[in-house]
Amino acid sequence: MSAWSASLGFALLMSCQFAVFAAPVADVEAGKKLAEQVCTACHGEEKTLNSETPILAGQTWRYLYLQMKDFQRGRRTNELMSPLMKDLSRQDMVNLAAYYSQQTFRGQNERGSAALIDAGRKIADDALCTMCHLGGFKGQNEVPRVAGQHYSYIVKQLVAFKNRERTNDAGTMTAYMSNVTREQMEAVAAYVANLQTR
Ligand code: HEC
Ligand code: HEC
């Protein structure tokens, strides 16, 4: 065997291994198409109008992908989302996550009272939320962006973590919320919903 064919064989072996372990490459156009067919009705183009439906635009890729997978596997449940995830392939979810994560976050126009927002800022500072969610709650990897998310959606999720109705967080959020009162959650939600982080 020549040195050349030996190294070709090695290269082929490596590329096969790579093909097995590499994350699938995202097709953003396919993601956009599927989103327009299935998701836009509720999640909108760049923002949603229903305040219990989360804004996906500008969310982190990894968080979006993991949530879809969790809905599909029943680790997170919602009567609207769960049935829609059933027939999606892994590649579909990769494409959809890429499409939404590449959209620009435009924010929304929810306003709480200045006093409530201020109280929320203090709670968030004391609780060190941004240790995980990053400054301005802009998110990273599997930790979601929450800045500018809908107030009602944020409150609903915090309550769900506290009551352990949502448990797909590996215990981080459920632990954080266990001693937080409803009033404190509303204040934090008003603060975070009004953050204008880009
Ligand atoms: C019938 C309305 C509806 C449709 C259609 C829909 N969703 Fe949702 N989606 C929701 C609601 C409502 C929630 C919030 C669920 C909850 O409260 O836990 C949600 C949550 C999500 C989340 C979690 C976001 C977060 O911040 O945790 C992702 C990701 C998501 N949807 C992706 C999609 C994708 C991708 C599609 C299209 C394939 C889609 N959804 C179609 C209503 C919908
Ligand atoms: C130790 C890390 C950590 C800390 C501290 C933390 N979070 Fe989280 N948070 C997470 C992770 C991880 C998730 C995603 C959980 C999942 O995958 O379902 C999350 C999810 C959330 C969600 C749901 C977002 C969505 O789109 O559904 C909200 C709202 C939230 N956190 C707010 C807060 C607030 C407010 C604080 C401070 C009081 C806080 N978090 C502190 C790690 C953290």
pLDDT digits (tens, 9 = 90+) for 117-132: 999 999 999 999 999 9
Amino acid at 93: M
- Across 2-11, 22-31, 143-152, 188-197, least confident range: 2-11
Q: Give the C-alpha separation, 81 to 75, whole Å.
A: 12
Q: How confident is the model at residue 111 (pLDDT cuts 50, 70, 90)?
A: confident
- Across 16-30, 44-58, 101-115, 182-196, least confident range: 16-30
Q: Which residues contact 65 (CB under 8 A, 6 or more apart)?
A: 93, 94, 97
Instruction: Check pocket membership of 61 for ligand 2, CB cut-off 6 A.
Output: no
Mean pLDDT along residues 78-105: 95
Task: Tell how far the Cα of 161 is from the centroid of ligand 1, in angstroms.
Answer: 17
pLDDT at 188 over 60: yes
CA distances from 69 to 76, 78, 195 (A): 9, 13, 28
Q: Give the C-alpha separation, 92 to 31, whole Å.
A: 7
pLDDT at 116 over 70: yes
- Quick one: what percent of the chain has pLDDT higher than 70? 87
Confidence at residue 109, expressed as pLDDT on a 0 to 100 scale:
67
Tokens (6 digits) for 21? 């372990």
Confidence at residue 8, expressed as pLDDT on a 0 to 100 scale:
42
Mean pLDDT along residues 150-155: 95
Mean pLDDT along residues 64-73: 97
pLDDT at 165 over 60: yes
Question: Within a 13 Å sphere around the CA of 85, how many CA atoms are in the beta-carbon half?
Answer: 24
pLDDT at 73 over 50: yes
**Cβ-contact 147, 138 below 8 angstroms:** yes
Q: Give the C-alpha separation, 162 to 16, whole Å.
A: 45
Place of tokens 């093909």: 19
Considering the chain, what is the average pLDDT of its residues? 87
Confidence at residue 171, expressed as pLDDT on a 0 to 100 scale:
87
Nearest CA to ligand 2 atom 13: 143
Q: Give the C-alpha separation, 138 to 7, whole Å.
A: 46
Confidence at residue 49, expressed as pLDDT on a 0 to 100 scale:
74
- Quick one: what percent of the chain has pLDDT higher than 90? 74
Q: Give the C-alpha separation, 135 to 145, whole Å.
A: 10
Nearest CA to ligand 1 atom 23: 67
Task: Tell how far the Cα of 21 is from the centroid of ligand 2, in angstroms.
Answer: 29
**Cβ-contact 144, 134 below 8 angstroms:** no
Confidence at residue 196, expressed as pLDDT on a 0 to 100 scale:
84
Ligand 1 binding residues, C-beta < 6 A: 35, 38-39, 41-43, 52-54, 56, 64, 67-68, 78, 80-81, 84, 96, 144, 156
Confidence at residue 187, expressed as pLDDT on a 0 to 100 scale:
97
